[in-house]
Amino acid sequence: MLFRLDPERAHALSLSLLRLVGVLPPLRWTVSSTLSVGRGRPVEAFGLTFANAVGLAAGYDKDAVAWRGLACLGFGHVELGTVTPRPQTGNPRPRVFRLTGDRSLINRLGFPSRGADYVVRRLRPAARPHGVLVGVNLGKQRETPLERAADDYELLMRRLAPVADYLTVNVSSPNTPELRRLQHREWLGPLLRRLGEHRNALRDKLGRPLPLLVKLSPDLSDAELDSALAAIQDAGLDGVVATNTTTSRDGLASPLADETGGLSGAALSARSTSMVRRIARQTGGNLPIVASGGVMGPADAREKLDAGACLVQLYTGLIYEGPGLVSRILQELHPC
């Protein structure tokens, strides 16, 4: 039924249903007991203990409207956002396209967001579901010039640190003009050093760990990736999310392949795994990796963990495989 609807309308409907699951105890119990079979094993990563290795990738619940319902599916963590400092509408519609034959999506959303204040309100009022950690993905305002990007990220860190378990700096979306330039050597090093210092001050104020991660593009060359990893480690950051969506269209059969935007889903899986492997090799396994991109089933999750990731995240796989995917992955990763 959802696939009969426009992709963005279908997604909004799914979020509305999941929001109800999160706020109505009978629905919450029913979904949790039905789908959260086999919770997996705890994972220690960047100073936190995750209930299991499977999380929700940023982009699915941008404004924290359904995160409590999503937690009922069995996730060990949910990453919300991308959140911008102030509300913005993103790019014009249509901006999401299903490549059904390729089990993939193309989106050019461009960080539609209700803003940081809205997300803070959504995360504060009620008790957090047991055993689920919450990350927030941070993005600069569309009109903010690169020279002032650090101001946006610092503002977001101050607002969201009190209600998040970890934060992720998004410098890799292909749908915000010039954003990916922040991954280049001349921009990334100064940006991350400044954000790392700000994180340290916030961590001292909060009196608890505040891991800060960076989400990278799968389209970086080997030299660009090496430079980015050096900047991440020099700034003392805690981990990397690999990867964001890709602008590559290699191997696609869908007639919608020429749509502009970032490609996710099965067509991204091999590229994402390759990057996970490159990062693990380059850092000697000393930088925690969250693998995001093309996790469509248990085999994809296992492949990425074997390549060097400590956690995996789902987004497009959830759309194509349904809400039982989390439980299936956990059961096959850790059979009773």
The count of domains in the chain is 1
Residue 113 confidence (pLDDT) above 80? yes
CB neighbours of 183 closer than 8 A, spacing ≥ 6?
171, 172, 216, 217, 220, 224, 228
Pair 169, 214: CB distance under 8 Å? yes
Predicted confidence at residue 38, as pLDDT, reads 60
Q: How far apart are CA 50 and CA 99, in angstroms?
A: 33
Note if 221 is an active site residue.
no
Q: Of these residues, 173, 217, 264, 269, which one is catalytic? A: 173
Could you list the residue range(s) of the whole structural domain that residue 167 is in? Answer: 2-333
Q: How far apart are CA 112 and CA 114, in angstroms?
A: 7
Taking residue 174's Cβ as centre, other Cβ atoms within 10 Å add up to 20
pLDDT in tens, 179-215: 999 999 999 999 999 999 999 999 999 999 999 999 9
Predicted confidence at residue 39, as pLDDT, reads 65
pLDDT in tens, 29-57: 999 888 765 668 999 999 999 999 999 99
Centroid of chain to Cα 35 = 22
β-pairing, 54-56 vs 311-314, is: parallel
Predicted confidence at residue 37, as pLDDT, reads 57
Predicted confidence at residue 1, as pLDDT, reads 82
Predicted confidence at residue 129, as pLDDT, reads 80
pLDDT in tens, 119-137: 999 998 667 787 899 999 9
What's the CATH number where 191 sits? 3.20.20.70
Taking residue 234's Cβ as centre, other Cβ atoms within 10 Å add up to 13
For residues 284-291, give the mean pLDDT: 97
Torsion of CA 232, 80, 48, 184, to 10 degrees: 0
CB neighbours of 253 closer than 8 A, spacing ≥ 6?
101, 102
Predicted confidence at residue 138, as pLDDT, reads 98
Predicted confidence at residue 24, as pLDDT, reads 93
Question: What is the band of 336 on the pLDDT scale with cuts at 50, 70, 90?
Answer: low
Question: What is the band of 220 on the pLDDT scale with cuts at 50, 70, 90?
Answer: very high
Predicted confidence at residue 36, as pLDDT, reads 63
